[in-house]
Amino acid sequence: MKPFPIPVRARYSCSKCPAYCCSYPEIEVTPRDIERLGKRFELSYREAEERFTKYDSKEKVRLLRHKKDTVFATVCTFLDLEKRRCTVYESRPGVCRAYPDSKHCGYYDFLRFERAHQADPEFIALT
Ligand code: SF4
Ligand code: SF4
């Protein structure tokens, strides 16, 4: 018999974070992710691929495009810069769904450390 799942209490709070994870420049997308995004915007696979992703020739993968941000240098093209929320939440790529895959978020841990260190609960890390 499978053990009863133990509830994991998240040690991070996305509501207190300016979407730090969405500033990561190498968010990899799969063909399935591109297809899903295409459906969301009623675009063909090629159109979605061209509009929302770019090719990383070094790693030979496709990444989500970025745009300029006022908090971080750049963020994912799908982030709402005011609300700091994903605008394609239901259609977001697999890696976004999976992250963080534990009760800790490394970005949030860093923010929390800096906020405590600088005695500034509102501190936002600029990258
Ligand atoms: S960096 Fe962590 S805490 Fe911030 S939005 Fe992403 S998952 Fe949530
Ligand atoms: S698709 Fe959404 S969750 Fe994923 S990086 Fe972009 S804004 Fe963040």
Domain chopping of the chain, boundaries: 14-117
- The ligand 1 atom at the shortest distance from the C-alpha of residue 22 is 6
pLDDT, residue 5, reads: 61
**CA torsion through residues 62, 18, 97, 9, sign:** positive
Rg (CA), the chain: 17
Taking alpha carbons only, the member of 14, 16, 125, 27 closest to residue 76 is 27
**CA torsion through residues 85, 90, 93, 95, sign:** positive
pTM of the model: 0.89
Q: Compute the average pLDDT of residues 109-120.
A: 87
Note the pLDDT tens digit of each residue in 53-62.
Answer: 999 999 999 9
CA 96 to ligand 2 center in whole angstroms: 6
CA 63 to ligand 1 center in whole angstroms: 19
3-state secondary structure of 32: helix
